[in-house]
Amino acid sequence: MEIEQLEKVASQVRRDIVRMVHGCQSGHPGGSLGCTELLVALYFERMKLKENDGKVVFDMNGKDEDLFFLSNGHISPVWYSVLARKGYFPVSELATFRKLDSRLQGHPTTHEHLEGIRIASGSLGQGLSVALGAATAKKLNNDKGTVYVLMGDGEQQEGQVWEAATFAPHHQVDNLVAFIDLNGQQIDGPTVKVMNNRDLGAKYEAFGWEVINIEEGNDMAAVVKGLYEAKGRLGHGRPIMVLLHTGMGYGVDFMMGSHKWHGVAPNDEQLAAALAQLDETLGDY
């Protein structure tokens, strides 16, 4: 897909995110907005997905397709929107986000059989391990698909992440691309103040990963270019880590760059102000 087209999808996804969070008056808009380019680029450009008659089909085992795992499950709004816009489930279902009897739980789950989701996430630090298992299964099955996994930067404070970080190069899991959303913010404030992760790139390199930076993580062309670069480095015995530099709340001026909008919903007035900044390109749900 052309960059311009991807940007149009991203604009709609951002509208979905703020409307979903507004609709239930809860959820996490900040990280969702910041990761919009990545998820749109993955699903609409980069990932090889199972399709039937031009329509995506969900298969839990995901044989011969690329898989995506969201470890920082609280940014579910962006994932739900991208999955719906890609065609995994009706866009109208986005209106049920975080409401009773919805398949769109606050944090992603397989429990409600929502197409596109392969593991529950929300309790942080677990997604990289799961992705490594899925990537290992692909190798055992001689399946050429790639496994992608997104983590938060605050999430790097979880010990399990570093167990997984040690495992991946040891077992040469080189069909996996991991991302860290480097927005520098977590609930209690800037990451450097809450618990300084210091140089994550140097850490992962020391652990044996190949590290790539996407400096402009909210620039669609830069993200797509970074994804192709990552893909090109697969299959050489090392897992790939992409440090994705994003802005929390990107795309809505008053939400940008602050931890304040990590898990806060906009009121009616703020919603209107946000939507005024985002073009409706594919039609609101």
Partner 1 sequence: MKKYTFTEKKDTRSGFGAGMHVLGQQNPNVVALCADLVGSLKLEPFIKENPERFIQCGISEANMIGVSAGLTIGGKIPFATTFANFATGRVYDQIRQSVAYSNKNVKICASHAGLTLGEDGATHQILEDIGMMKMLPGMTVINPCDYNQTKAATIAIADYEGPVYLRFGRPVIPIFTDPDQKFEIGKAWMVNEGTDVSIFATGHMVWEAIQAGEILEAEGINAEIINIHTIKPLDEEAILKSVEKTGCVVTAEEHNRIGGLGDSVAQVLVKNKLVPQEYVAVNDSFGESGTPAQLLEKYGLDAKHIVEAAKRAIARK
By CB under 8 A, name the binding residues for partner 1: 60-63, 67, 109-111, 118-123, 125-138, 140-141, 143, 159-160, 163-164, 166-167, 170-171
| Lookup result for tokens 């620039």 | 219
Nearest residue (CB) to partner 1, 12 versus 109: 109
47: Cα within 13 Å, side-chain hemisphere: 28
Nearest residue (CB) to partner 1, 20 versus 67: 67
| Lookup result for tokens 């990932």 | 47
Q: How far is the CB of 232 from partner 1 (least distance, A)?
A: 24
Q: How far is the CB of 202 from partner 1 (least distance, A)?
A: 21
Detail the DSSP E strand segments found in the chain: 51-52, 55-56, 67-70, 147-152, 176-182, 185-186, 189-190, 210-214, 240-245
Q: How far is the CB of 136 from partner 1 (least distance, A)?
A: 6
CB 236 within 8 A of CB 174: yes
Nearest residue (CB) to partner 1, 105 versus 185: 105
Nearest residue (CB) to partner 1, 65 versus 181: 65
Q: How far is the CB of 127 from partner 1 (least distance, A)?
A: 8
Q: How far is the CB of 241 from partner 1 (least distance, A)?
A: 16
Nearest residue (CB) to partner 1, 203 versus 225: 203
Q: Is 212 helix (H, G, I), strand (E, B) or coil?
A: strand
- Cα-only R_g, the chain: 18
Q: Is 213 helix (H, G, I), strand (E, B) or coil?
A: strand
Nearest residue (CB) to partner 1, 135 versus 252: 135
Detail the DSSP E strand segments found in 53-164: 55-56, 67-70, 147-152
For residue 203, which phi and psi values (nearest 5 degrees)? -60, -50
Q: How far is the CB of 45 from partner 1 (least distance, A)?
A: 23
